[in-house]
Structure 1
Amino acid sequence: MSAISRPSLSPGLTIRPLTLDDAAALTELIAEQERHDLGRADIEEADLLGDWQRPSHDLATSSLGVLDGQRIVGYVEHVDVERYDAAVLPSYRGRGIGTWLATWVQDLARSRGATILGMPVPEASAGDRLLTALGYGVRWTSWVLRLPEGATVASRPLPDGYALRVATPADHEQVWTVVEDAFLEWSARERATIEDFGAQVWGRPGSEPWNLQVVTGPDGAVVGVAHAWNTPDADTYVAKLAVARAHRSRGLAQALLVAAFGEGRARGATSSSLSTDSRTGARTLYEHAGMRTESTWVHRAVSLS
């Protein structure tokens, strides 16, 4: 697809790269967009800081904020080679900000060698309609699933020789290997370095030991991983769930879910959630465990060639 002509920003709006000091303001911007589009806000400041502290990420050259005075009203960030994130305050929509940001990040990604670029947006949202109009197609679909309040995932005993416990620093390299191996079975990207991975997992701001649990196999090696935390609105969110290929179909994922949700409830959570997408084939597993779809997202992408 040929490059889109970038429109001019409305008079009075200014632009600059984002900084770490913008984390709180940007969290509120994204939260306001989520509340408008989805009826609830799931973003946390730790989500941004975990991404931004990856050694490979340079916020100064990979992001741009649009400001009205001192207030950030829109932003875009080139997160990975083929992925970006963006948001515009609902009250500032219709001024061409989203189109301007999309063209800016396309130019940036193209200069870095990317041939395709996309981002996730809630299905049928303003963002979905904008990207459709800009020629973006659906690359895959994802869902946020939630366990109804008061419901539990049925317990399933681990097979003989397997054990579930909280991860220790000595497990970190094995955790990284198990999760990356599993995710790269369906995700077309480069393997994350252990340093980038750790920044978003055990190095995530506010991380507690219970957030990272593992299942070990008969030989003591890590073969399953769950990374979860409690959100400010009392939800246990499972960010990563992975089982090594040779150890699947033995109930390990279900045991990890039970453990993660249980630890979260013991610390005050009243609901539990996670997300999955059409590339993984895991949605049925979660539905069989009693989880229900809360929202649907589409990852829309555009060719940069």
Structure 2
Amino acid sequence: MTGRIVLAATPIGNSDDASSRLRDAMAGADLIAAEDTRRLRDLARRLGVDLTADLVAVHDHNEADRAQALIERARQGGLVLVVSDAGMPTVSDPGFRVVEAAAAAGVEVTVLPGPSAVLTALALSGLPTDRFCFEGFLPRKAGERSRALAGLATEQRTMVFFEAPHRLEESLAAMAAQWGPERAAAVSRELTKTYEETRRGPLGDLVAWAEAESPRGEIVITVAGRPARAASLDELVAEALVRVESGERAKDAVADLATTGGVPRRELYAAVLAARSGGARGA
């Protein structure tokens, strides 16, 4: 493992979750780019790893400036390890700009997989996991947060957010206001740690819980997507007309939309013909 950049996942709470590959990489790296070098040294101590690598702090404020130096070290044959304070680099943590620069420079990048707060919370949530999206941290300002949540109003995938404990209640309340207090959700905190907890329920109930309990620790919020609803006949007709205008055969568009919309094909086709003839007369 030389002449490359390695993104390495670190424990999100329990040091025993560190893989043997992570230990070997930390011990054998030529250069380690860490979000916080003090935390890296503490992790090495807990894992019993003797660090011999050069250490450099790479965080949100300096990553763009330091990425090229990491690329050059790998080009010279060095093993460059990139770690964040917890979890996988690039996921709401530094690392993206390093990978972007390495890809542009043709430098090999690989990953040592491991703990992920996103996937751990998703698995614990009890919500659908077949389709999901990660939204990171919501904006701190109320207006910007409301706009961000409004932009997700039609999202049907399960959504995962990070949040600071002192903003949990207001973020849950904003979600309940935008998406309704009955929307299913879960709040996970202190994942893999001694006081790990996941609270599940409607957003309205979670707001009341957060207000009463003021939960502490690192927080992940998981929220169900908007339930799919059957499109009305008028909506299906409108979509069919758009597709016909773009060049698709009316019969093909109707066949597809009737299947996905759960309506009789003849009924939809007749409605589309009536709409087209009505539009022609109006024109």
Interval containing the TM-score (normalised by the shorter chain): under 0.3
Greater relative contact order, per chain length (Cα 8 Å cut-off, separation 6+): 1
Structure with greater proportional helix content: 2
Larger radius of gyration: 2
